[in-house]
A and B are shown apart, each in its own frame.
Chain A
Amino acid sequence: MLQVPDVALAPMLPILIVLAGAVSSTVLGFHLPRRALTIINLVLLVLSGVSMATLWNSGATAFGGSLQADNAALLLGLTILVGSIMTLLVSLDTAYRARVSFPEFDAMLMYAITGTLLIAFSGDLITMLIGLEIMSLASYVLATLQDSRRAEESGLKYFLLGAVGSAILIYGIAFVYGATGSLSYAVIAERAGGLTPANVGILVGGALLLLAGFGFKVALAPFHQWTPDVYTGAPTSVSLFLSTVVKVAAFAGMLRVFGGALASAPGWASTLQVLTAATLIVGNAAALFQPNFKRMLAYSAVAHTGFLAMALLGTPEVGGAALGYYLLVYTLMTAAALAIVAALQRSEEGMTITDLRGLYYRHPAYAAALAVCLASLAGLPPFAGFFGKYLAFQAAFQNGYVWLSVLAALTSVAALVYYLRPGMLMFMPDRTPAREYPHGERTPTTLTVALGVVGVTVLGILPNLWYGWVANPGIWQGLAGR
């Protein structure tokens, strides 16, 4: 007997609005200039955010719990939208220079955002996988879209390694299904406790394969190798998108799977701990030796993956709250920093760190803003990066990972050094001619930068504005759904 699926429109609305943007960009691209499409898409993203706000505390689900718009999904979804809006704003200015100014760029971007939202809203492994694949496929295209050898190379690398990651992930899903007999997070969480020993073995194998698959997506060492090449090779606005929105979505997926479905499964936490330690060391040490600023930011994104992963090691209540806060802050500061790079770079390869010398005397506002972003990335108060790092440390520390916290503190010193060098070079007087694009300061980019800088400053001084929302433990206890 065929059953009518449980279709509820309300929880799907935020995703559908974004999807409508993707479809309309594809169709209207034949009639409208790209700028118009981008503005339509910006409006749609805001509408999607509004529809999320109306769903707050409703706990609505669709498809029998496969799609759930609980508060965790909404908080992560809003973070994704903030990053997406910043990407679109920056692309208004830089897409033309990066030679990606055609409607397909917008369409792909909106498809990718649709996928990321699906991950955040997912209630079972299949929904998550569909979202992940939509996001990944669109991202592969985005990375390759620019007509240059470097972009092609990076896109291909991204595609090949990403495909391997997806394959491992799917294999892991199969294992988990084999062990528990279900794909739904809630059922997996329920059954993970009382399995026969043979099934526990399969579950652990599945969890580890899932961890490896997600490791590719969030760039955990040793699965991070593609990150620096792809982030540097892709146009900067795409790097911005990949390092913020895509990473937030992948972490949302990890939170759902490991904080929710597999929370009581053995094995994955101790492995994640080792991977986190490796990521912290590799990311921070490699960033220390990068002469190219964009590439340094890429490695810094790897290093931040390590800090974010520390939050996953906390209990879901503490760790989820920490991750919820940190992801927004990370998005704001990374997007603002890359927006400045996108505006001021001469070519899509970014600029070398020494090119930044004396920036304060040429573009005072951008230099001050970049300094704020770097200070926040380094975790210096009163900027929000400090509280993000603090929460991550606290989550890991309180769950017994003391040595990992100490290691994170030590690697943070290396982080400070590589953030400090460009940060301080900008303020050093310089008499040589400027080495950046002279017409970089345009309104949408400035708006993005202002959003990021004001965001990290306000959230740093009054962390409660956002943390007050995410701190409620009830949100994160129901990660697997009810």
Chain B
Amino acid sequence: MIHLMIFLPLLGSLLLFAVPRRWREEVAGFVAALTLGLGLLIWRGGGSELFSVPWVPALGITYSVALEGVSLALALVTAFMSFVAVLYAARRVDNPGTMLSLVLAMETGLIGIFAAQDLVLFYVFFEDALLPALMMLAIYGKPNRMRALVKFAAYTLFGSLLMLLSIIGVKYYGGSPTFALADLVRNPVTGAAQTWLYLGFLAAMAVKLPLWPMHAWLPDFHEQNHDSGVPDVMGTLYKVGGYGIFQFGIPLFPDASEQLRPLLMGLAAFTALYAAWIAFRQTDWKRLLAYAGLSHMGFVGLGVFSLNETATIGAMYLLAFQNVYTGALFLSVGMLQERIGSLSTRVGGVMTQAGALGGLTMALWFASIAVPGLAGFIGEFSVLLGAYQVQPWITLVAGLSTIAAAAYALTAFQTTFWQGRPLGAVRAWDVRGTEWLVLALPLAVAVFFGVYSAPALRLIQPAVRGVLSGLGGQ
């Protein structure tokens, strides 16, 4: 079943080229829903255990996949948001066949990233998710996309090639027979080599997380993407850096991660505050959201790098649900753009004509700025609580960004949805049809897991304990 969940979207994506044009949306929706259904079935069955067969025996590369704990939670979120993205793209994008196909192709890459339990396989899926993202930007992007594209790809590849060298080094210096995570953990690398290899691994993850100063691709990537916000949803799902450090970085480089902890926590905290500060100055909704997401990712980094149980649980929680509400916010921005033809945060008065859109957007923003009762709160609060026990001052700096978050979110919301509607402006219609689903489903998820976090915590907590138990302290 797990293999079906990973590769079904890719099959669907190829199938889309074969089916007649008018059926494409239905087929894509069906495939996405089916993938989500499979994920839920796996969840009900208590996760799917490690499955491992040799892939390239001569090189010790295995095809090892498992969906348990954190990886299952993140895979579920990916399947869910891909479904929402398909739902929206089918209605919003003209002639959506190619876009839907790319969304599904990327879904396979993303679920694969979370399922992979072999470093080379992880790398393969990691890069596979990149290609559809680039194509989406190339086909549907805005006039300056070439620069954004090159920047995005260059940063990503810069990191991941260093990671590839690290991967080779981990196996070689550790003397492991295969690249499977379990084997590598059994044959650890020690000493200075471990630190160097960790730095190489971090290079890739810091780009994806993204961590200052490797974040420069992110705002351009979102700004130049299609107005609908569909590629942005997939883009938010692509921020797998926190997961990579948690799943591979900590078990493989335990000493190095403890050694570098203060430095990395400092960088993460700085990223959170710096991004929130810049977000405040943005007048383009997409850039604003990009920096807001960057700020949240700073929190995720802070949690993971702290190596503290509470903080790491919070970071994983935040990583999972940040995708949901930030993704939905990107879609709501896409709707706003469809109505008023602009992404400016200064249009004013939309609320008077599109009340439901304004209300849903505001509720999603509340989730994003960690209002209690919504999913964002649990994540951010746990991160701060746990990180405070490790590095109080650094945590204080990061904590300041929650205040900044409220400031930038509410200001932008206020100048767009309240205030007076300019004279002669087009009439903005309200949410209709499937748009309700597109915004309400993620909001429902954010509310549900904000109030009742046990189902998600049951997945995340044991996995975090398992990973952190390999460390000496904490």
Contact = CB atoms under 8 A, between A and B. Distances in A.
B172 A406 contact: no
B124 A381 contact: yes
A43 B127 CA distance: 40
Contacts of B162: 406, 409
Interface string A320-345: 01000000000000000000000000
A420 B152 CA distance: 11
Interface of B: 55-59, 120, 123-124, 127-128, 130-131, 134-135, 137-139, 145-146, 149-150, 153-154, 157-158, 161-162, 164-165, 168-169, 172
B128 A381 contact: yes
Given A386-B124, A413-B161, A464 B56 contact: yes
Contacts of B131: 375, 380
Contacts of A390: 120, 164, 168
A405 B165 contact: yes
Main secondary structure of the interface of A (DSSP, over half): helix
A416 B139 contact: no
Given A409-B164, A424-B135, A464-B55, 18 more contacts: A375-B131, A380-B130, A380-B131, A386-B124, A390-B120, A397-B165, A398-B168, A398-B172, A402-B169, A412-B157, A416-B154, A420-B149, A420-B150, A425-B138, A425-B146, A428-B145, A464-B57, A471-B58
A471 B135 CA distance: 35
Given A409-B161, A420-B134, A427-B135, A386 B150 contact: no
30 contacts: A321-B58, A380-B130, A381-B127, A381-B128, A386-B124, A390-B164, A391-B59, A393-B165, A394-B59, A394-B168, A397-B168, A398-B168, A405-B168, A406-B165, A409-B164, A410-B158, A413-B157, A417-B153, A420-B134, A424-B137, A424-B138, A424-B149, A463-B56, A463-B59, A464-B55, A464-B57, A467-B56, A467-B58, A468-B57, A471-B59
Given A410-B158, A413-B161, A428 B138 contact: yes
A390 B55 CA distance: 15
Interface of A: 321, 375, 378, 380-382, 386-387, 390-391, 393-394, 397-398, 402, 405-406, 409-410, 412-413, 416-417, 420-421, 424-425, 427-429, 463-464, 467-468, 471
Contacts of B153: 416-417, 420
Nearest to A468: B58
A128 to B, nearest CB: 29
B153 to A, nearest CB: 5
Q: Of B124, B137, B172, which is in contact with the most chain A CB atoms at under 10 Å from its CB?
A: B124
B158 A397 contact: no
Nearest to A426: B138
A391 to B, nearest CB: 8
A306 to B, nearest CB: 14
A203 B50 CA distance: 55
Contacts of B56: 387, 463-464, 467
A463 B62 CA distance: 12
A391 B61 CA distance: 12
A440 B56 CA distance: 38
A428 B57 CA distance: 40
B154 A413 contact: yes
B165 A386 contact: no
B94 to A, nearest CB: 11
B169 A397 contact: yes
Nearest to A411: B161
B168 A427 contact: no
B127 A386 contact: yes
A393 B168 contact: yes
A425 B128 CA distance: 20
Contacts of A428: 138-139, 145
Contacts of B55: 464
Contacts of B149: 420, 424
A420 B149 CA distance: 8
